[in-house]
Copies of this chain bind each other. A is one copy, B any other.
Amino acid sequence: MARVRKTVTIRDVAEDAGVSLQTVSRVVNGGPNVRPEMRDKVRASIDRLGYVPSLAAQRMSGSRSYIILAINDRERTLADWRARLGTDWVDQMLLGGILTCSQHGYRMMVELVDTHSDHVERELGATLSALQPDGVILTPPHSENQLITALLAERKIPFARIGSNAPGPGIALTMGDEGAAHLATSHLIALGHDRIAMIAGPTQYSLSGWRIEGWKRAMAAAGLPHDSLLEVGDFGYESGTRAARALLDRNPDLTAIIASSDQMALAALEVARERGLAVPHDLSLISFDNTPIVRFSQPPLTAIDQPIAETVSRAVEQLIARGPDGDADAVIEVAAGLVERSSTARPPARPGVTASGRA
């Protein structure tokens, strides 16, 4: 006789332990004012029965849903998605987010939102109504999407914006783009470079501006000029090709390029190859993001590591810690690091320049 496995409810535990529902609930939620003996008795019953509270029921009665919603970009079609360059953004995000959520008894759900859609508000609104998440994590390019932040603010759902330095509504978490760019630039300067170009990201992203600032600050501190050494791309491969060509055309004496994305750096690498410039012998290259692909290029790229998992993890913690009334905005920085590989080296000797420094 195959007994149908009935779900173990809080009621079963209460009966087993000989206490009221309420007491079990208190034990489960770590509520105060429960005598140790009671607590132990209930805990024993919970273990014996293998009780786990139903998320849905918790949401129904309580004020929390124990759900954090992560909003990601969605490309239009499967084909487009496949054609993308490989980043492990989502992998990273999930790892950081899911683990941290589960540590706090929360769950993470992922929503794919199409930037170009004009139903964004309706779609997202529906999701929010259905899920009623306790917090939302916005990832680029949605982190600074006014429509979305306004919607969340209106519904009073706490949210974190990843990769945004703008001190707008919600919690902003960033890798400290100014500092990261400064770090990359300083690294090159320490190697002896003095003509260091920057391929920045699109200006709509405030982080692009910050990276430019960091680069300029390091250059200025070393007494180096940065005129004509800046190009703007859109993070994509083609734009990187264009930018690298323009940079090299304008500055034949260029010895290093910092690219604001792995894809643009890879493009710059290809441009160097097509011009017969050896990397890193003739040209040093540093990229931003440190997605897995840059470890398999020839040569592997030195890169600023974007600590996505950790950033998302921090975001989750903030969201959970603050709770429903966490309306205090904040900007949090998670330090980025420089991963040295084989695309950076001392610059080539130049006529009239000593090996040890600049003229």
Pick the contact of A74: B95, B130, B296, B297 (CB < 8 A).
B95
Pick the contact of A130: B53, B82, B112, B309 (CB < 8 A).
B53
Mark A266-300 against chain B: 1 for CB-CB distance below 8 A, else 0: 10000000000000000000000001110111100
Contact A109 B112 (CB under 8 A): no
Q: Which residue of B lies closest to A126 (CB)?
A: B52
Provide the residues of chain B in CB contact with A60, threshold 8 Å: 56-57, 60
Provide the residues of chain B in CB contact with A226, threshold 8 Å: none
Whether A78 contacts B292 in the complex (CB less than 8 A), given A8-B129, A50-B125, A59-B56, comes out as no
Provide the residues of chain B in CB contact with A110, threshold 8 Å: 94, 98, 108, 110
In this assembly, does A310 line the interface, its C-beta being within 8 Å of a C-beta of chain B? Answer: yes
Bound form: Cα–Cα A4–B154 in Å: 9
Contact A52 B130 (CB under 8 A): yes
Distance in angstroms from A276 CB to nearest chain B CB is 16
Contact A112 B91 (CB under 8 A): no
Bound form: Cα–Cα A252–B39 in Å: 72
A sample of 20 more A-B contacts (CB under 8 A), given A90-B94, A107-B109, is A4-B156, A54-B130, A55-B131, A56-B60, A56-B132, A60-B60, A82-B92, A84-B292, A86-B87, A86-B88, A88-B90, A88-B91, A89-B91, A94-B94, A95-B112, A98-B110, A108-B110, A110-B110, A293-B296, A296-B297
Size range of the chain A interface in the assembly: 35 or more
Provide the residues of chain B in CB contact with A98, threshold 8 Å: 110-112
Provide the residues of chain B in CB contact with A54, threshold 8 Å: 59, 129-130, 132
Distance in angstroms from A134 CB to nearest chain B CB is 12
In this assembly, does A220 line the interface, its C-beta being within 8 Å of a C-beta of chain B? Answer: no
Contact B131 A85 (CB under 8 A): no
In this assembly, does A104 line the interface, its C-beta being within 8 Å of a C-beta of chain B? Answer: no
Bound form: Cα–Cα A230–B309 in Å: 39
- Which A residues, 51 to 89, have Cβ-Cβ distances below 8 Å to chain B? 51-57, 59-60, 65, 74, 78, 81-82, 84-89
Contact B109 A95 (CB under 8 A): no
Contact B52 A81 (CB under 8 A): no
